[in-house]
Structure 1
Amino acid sequence: MDVLLFKYLAAKNGDTMRDVAKAIKVSATTISNRLTNKRGDFSRGDIAKLKARWKLTPQDIDAIFFSEDTVK
């Protein structure tokens, strides 16, 4: 996962991590844990909600959630 790109796109769209958490109906702690790979991943449903919210392209989604460092 490209955490910096995720945070950049959130900020570009006026979202804080708390806003992202509300949008996908999880706690801010859960977002933090997912971004630091401590616990869990974003579900397909989470990604779909963020795709619509931030108007992401398939290329954006691949770059954020399926970056090379996560695919082994």
Structure 2
Amino acid sequence: MDLIHPVADLGTRLRRGSNTVEVEVATPLGNRLRVAGPEVYGGLTRQPYGLLGPVRVVPYGEIPVG
């Protein structure tokens, strides 16, 4: 997967009708520790991580070739 421009093909997971797409983003442990234990980890710099840009769902069609 390209970490700079990640793409996920959901084509095999979607069905006719309404679908729900959930995205779970894990963050670096340091970001969590800054909040959970600020007396110890409060000096850590927050790392920019997660969904930092626009998220788009782009429909497409598949056509068999051959």
Structure of greater Rg:
2
What TM-score comes out, normalization by structure 1 length?
A: 0.25
What TM-score comes out, normalization by structure 2 length?
A: 0.26
Task: State the structure with bigger RCO (CA 8 A, min sep 6), 1 or 2.
Answer: 1
